[in-house]
Amino acid sequence: MACVGSTGQGLVLELSEDGIIANIRSLQLPEWMGESVDFTGIDKVDFRCKKPGNIAEPGEIVAEVFLDGTKLGPEGVTMWLMQTATITFPITNNGNTTEATLSGSGFIRAFGFGSASVNEPMVATITFAYDGETGPLVTPEAIGTP
């Protein structure tokens, strides 16, 4: 069996209104989590009775990017504007033809300028919150011949 996997090198984050967010240092992908509904009756004496809820939290993307005064900051990204975030992953399997994507609508809810230190790159943090209206939707790689 071939070794399949990815380091994230070559990953691209694009916002429909703000364009490609370049020079990503790290990217925290969303965690989808749903609620459990407690149906425990008063007659239970050992464990609670739970069932899955119907709605999941769509999550957030947190991107740590190298600070570029020409692209980032209040003029470079648009806070609270509804837009689509699309993450394009590098192809993990030789022979596949199309990259996997994660895409959904939402808004930038936070922009942090980070800190500045001697001999350290300046980084900013962008937090994009999915709104659950469109996606987030995962599209897998187009499978080719390995």
For position 65, what pLDDT does the model report? 85
The residue extents of the domains of the chain are 12-31+49-139
How would you class 65 by CB atoms within 10 Å of its CB: exposed for 0-12, middle for 13-18, buried for 19 or more? Answer: buried
pLDDT digits (tens, 9 = 90+) for 45-104: 899 999 998 888 899 999 998 876 665 555 567 788 899 999 998 888 778 888 999 999
CB 98 within 8 A of CB 141: yes
Question: What pLDDT is stored for residue 70 in this prediction?
Answer: 62
**With contact defined as beta carbons under 8 Å apart, do 98 and 146 qualify?**
no
What is the model's pLDDT at position 51? 92
